[in-house]
Structure 1
Amino acid sequence: MAHQIDLNPASHLTVGTVGVPGQRTFFLQGSRGAQTISLVIEKEQAALLGGSLESFLEELDRSHPPATREAADPVWMDMRLREPVEELFRVGNMGLGYSEDEDLVVLIAYELVEEGDDPNVVSFWATRAQIQSLVKHIADIVKQGRPICGNCGRPIDPEGHFCPQRNGHRH
């Protein structure tokens, strides 16, 4: 039986990694009080989430302007993963929503399951300031990966790189 967890509101919301570039595991993590939920996501999901949240906030600011100027100003937040990082599940899909009454954004993460199975679901409710901090943080985290080869566009490992564009030859 699938479970629904609501962190409403989340006191902490972040994306972080465990491991070295090339072997990192990405986590979407949120907390409410003593409860911390850590979900595994792919690097591509993290990058898409950052872009989607940025677009969502821009649209939200047009359709529902912040009540005060302070609400629109970015604030510093601790974006580190909270230990221990214990995977609840791997995320398959994510969705975004907004509560006009509470002026909170909701990020809904659905478990990756086999077709026909009911996924577990976690809802992270966050302020606009939390989402703004998360967008910037995700961009920074994604950039921290391995350098990209200028010829083939693939990541370069610390041990070396076989570039198909150079037929494997090094210069």
Structure 2
Amino acid sequence: MNKIKQKKVIALVAHDHRKKDMMEWVAYNWKELVPHTLMCTGTTGKLVQETIHEKCAENEIIPPDVVRLKSGPLGGDQQLGAFISEGKVDMLIFFWDPMQPQPHDVDVKALLRISTLYNIPVATNRSTADFIISSKLFHQQYAPIIKDYSSYIMRDVKM
């Protein structure tokens, strides 16, 4: 059973039309994010790193690690999904844009599916992200219940 550690790996993803919202959210919540490792796709990672480093510099605090993956449409969503399936990501904050068609919609759906499959907290909008980050569970270790898929893996497949 994977445990969500007290020091978490938080994935931050934002579609182009939601990057401004994400940076405002990061700037507002930077103190809550500093103790954790942040993992981001593409440009979101660059912007998160700049935003959080600026806030930390102003307050003379060491910034958190920001792991930058590829851009979502270039495979970053799939990289992130792999990290989730390996138990290396504890939660996903994904400000997606429901009003814009995405060239990688299938990757977005797969990322949300794998997050649900592995039962990690997911926020797809600012309100839910606020609820997650303000939860008392955010600041402690947590053991989510992971469904046992061994019977699916061991099923008899006829050829």
TM-score by length of 1: 0.24
Higher helix share: 2
Higher alpha-carbon Rg? 1
TM-score by length of 2: 0.26
